[in-house]
Structure 1
Amino acid sequence: MIEKPRVAIVTGASRGAGKGIALALGEAGMTVYVTGRSTAGPTGDLPGTIGETAAEVTARGGRGIGVAVDHASDESVAAFVEQVSAEHGYVDVLVNNVFAVPDGLTKPLPFWEQALDMGQMFDIGLRSTYVMTALAAPLMIADPSRRGLVVNTSGFGGTCFMHGPAYGAVKAGVDKMAHDFAVDLQSHGVTALSLWMGLLRTERTSRVLAAEPEKYRGADQTTESPEFPGRVIAALDAHADKERFTGRVLVAAEMAAILGVADVDGRQPASRRPLLGDPPRFSDAVVR
């Protein structure tokens, strides 16, 4: 009997962390659905489209499928899940990565001087994670023997002050959401967790570093490639005992050391925990 390929969904994968994660899962031989709004050309002033990412996933040894999805629309997400169901009937790996980055997010202003559109992160970041997972869950629990994996991408802003209260609330929210997903999914053989990424060398970050070279001198030596968290996710998915990580908030650099994963340049990135703090620990209590 021919084994069915692992099927993954990576949301927000036109560029940045999502693209890097999709490429790493493609290298692991997975069929990867790449979602986003950038189709014929990039949205905004950053490069990248879902088609380009999907093509590179295929070139890396997997099978990339680009699908235009508006993660602000429940109907758009539902239609996408119906497509995946019709084409494969199951999902093994779901990476909730799509995120809105409002203009001025990194400006050092008090929250009352920031634009109110910082709240768009609650829709494309927090709510989008809930909707995507709720709609995809039936495809993930259909066959417990496939031992599925849900990963919410997050970061140290979940516990330290970073970019203001709206950003912090979203990161803390997706961390707690992963823990609570795990409570319901565990009996169905699906692991759910949140993965804290470091400073990634994305298109956006590279532009910021280049704009103020003196301010960020040496910062490139502490960054991670966008593919690094994807390599960690692929290793977690293949782990014989990945269930022991369910419900937890994990630091990608620390998991890489445990799993024997290196970055694309062979380096072992250092955890930013000493600088930015510890991930949260949640109660084991369950109240229905």
Structure 2
Amino acid sequence: MSDALQGKVALVAGATRGAGRGVAVELGAQGATVYVTGRTTRERRSEMDRPETIEETAELVTAAGGHGIAVPTDHLEREQVRELVERIDREQGRLDVLVNDIWGADPLTRWHTPVWEHPLDAGLHTLRLAIDTHLITSHYALPLLIRNPGGLLVEMTDGTLEYNLANYRLTVYYDLAKIAVNRLAYSQAEELRPHGATAVSVTPGWLRSEMMLDGFGVTEENWRDALDKHPHFAISESPAFVGRAVAALAADPDRHRWTGRTTSSGELAQVYDFTDRDGSRPDAWRYMVEVDQESEVANVTGYR
């Protein structure tokens, strides 16, 4: 814990679990006040049907040393987002960091299914959840972010720009959703530049999210037990790793050098000298290109 972000206000949109929760907690560990949003609360679950709640995330932020504030929000509902930003303005009078991490389309995705066989409504709703939510949130939140120079917008995605341009992401809708978010950082960077604000797209590597751990039948404490069946899982990282990446960006007074770019938790770890919880620095995207895609035997030597 440090006070590098003491007095700063962040909004992590889509912080119920996974990368969003990891980012929120690590911003809190640097002393920030963090508003966390999502659709799953202790009273109601979204169609994700997962047990994690935004209240739990807010409590983790506070326990880490920050001030966590949970606000139930559906980021497809414009009025809810507008009211959220008005509340932040009313209570804090500023917004220093906006993290667009809204997703929630996992139940809609049909992997390895061509576009003509993929359920159309599910595919189109995936794009709304992945892209419209980010645009709606930016529309209402960025006027508050640019009120003071130096604001940071982070668009969370899956895959570096180079990787997403060179690889099909197993379904048209997921493929389009993730590369669109790469582009959102670039285009919003151009619009934010005159206001002294920075926009960057950040991707984790192979994330040990709650859903991933459940799917492999392991926990964060014994995740290596999954390596017998999934040997390349050895390059995976905890949500704290990408959280520390975003916190490092937010605390960097020279963060504007990243504006318009897509970067990864692995790259940022090399620049800012932070580690994952186990003391390693997994460089997942380089590993995927140089080892996994080349059908090499799983070996993380030199990659974490």
Q: Return the offset for 1:112.
A: 2.3
The question of whether the paired residues in 1 share the 8 Å contact of 2:185 and 2:201 is answered with yes
Which AA in structure 1 matches 2:156? Answer: T
Partner of residue 245 from structure 1, selected from 251, 254, 258: 258
Residue equivalent to 2:198: 191
Q: Return the offset for 1:216.
A: 4.1
Partner of residue 11 from structure 1, selected from 10, 13, 32: 13
Partner of residue 158 from structure 1, selected from 138, 161, 164: 164
Q: Return the offset for 1:273.
A: 3.1
2:31 is the counterpart of 1:29: yes
Residue equivalent to 1:76: 80
Which AA in structure 1 matches 2:207? Answer: L
The question of whether the paired residues in 1 share the 8 Å contact of 2:16 and 2:40 is answered with yes
Residue equivalent to 1:119: 124
Residue equivalent to 1:208: 215
Pairs within 5 Å for 1:59-70: 59-70=63-74
Percent identity reads 36
22-31 or 106-115: which moved more? 106-115
Which AA in structure 2 matches 1:39? Answer: T
The question of whether the paired residues in 2 share the 8 Å contact of 1:254 and 1:271 is answered with no
Which AA in structure 2 matches 1:120? Answer: H
Residues 1:98 and 1:234: Cα distance change in structure 2 (over 3 Å): same
The question of whether the paired residues in 2 share the 8 Å contact of 1:12 and 1:36 is answered with yes
Residues 1:34 and 1:137: Cα distance change in structure 2 (over 3 Å): same
Q: Return the offset for 1:106.
A: 5.5
Residue equivalent to 1:233: 246
2:269 is the counterpart of 1:256: yes
TM-score of the aligned structures, taking structure 2 as reference length: 0.84
Residue equivalent to 2:293: none
TM-score of the aligned structures, taking structure 1 as reference length: 0.88
Which AA in structure 1 matches 2:279? Answer: G
Q: Return the offset for 1:52.
A: 0.8
Which residues of structure 1 form unaligned runs of 5+?
278-288
Partner of residue 62 from structure 2, selected from 55, 58, 65: 58
Moved over 3 A (4+): 41-45, 211-216
Q: Return the offset for 1:123.
A: 1.2
Residue equivalent to 1:100: 104
Partner of 1:103, secondary structure, is helix
Over residues 140-189 of structure 1, what are the superposed CA-to-partner deviations in whole Å (9 max), with x where a residue is unaligned?
Answer: 11111xx1110001122732211311111111111111111111111212
**Structure-2 separation of matches of 1:64 and 1:122:** 29
Partner of 1:111, secondary structure, is coil
The question of whether the paired residues in 1 share the 8 Å contact of 2:95 and 2:144 is answered with yes
Superposition RMSD on alpha carbons, in Å?
2.1
Residue equivalent to 1:91: 95
**Structure-2 separation of matches of 1:9 and 1:148:** 12
Over residues 85-131 of structure 1, what are the superposed CA-to-partner deviations in whole Å (9 max), with x where a residue is unaligned?
Answer: 11111110111001022426263222322222022221111111111
Partner of 2:116, secondary structure, is helix
Which AA in structure 1 matches 2:173? Answer: A
175-184 or 108-117: which moved more? 108-117
Residues 1:104 and 1:37: Cα distance change in structure 2 (over 3 Å): closer
**Structure-2 separation of matches of 1:152 and 1:179:** 10
Partner of 1:123, secondary structure, is helix
**Structure-2 separation of matches of 1:213 and 1:224:** 14
Q: How many residues align?
A: 273
Residue equivalent to 2:137: 132
**Structure-2 separation of matches of 1:102 and 1:14:** 14
Partner of 1:10, secondary structure, is strand
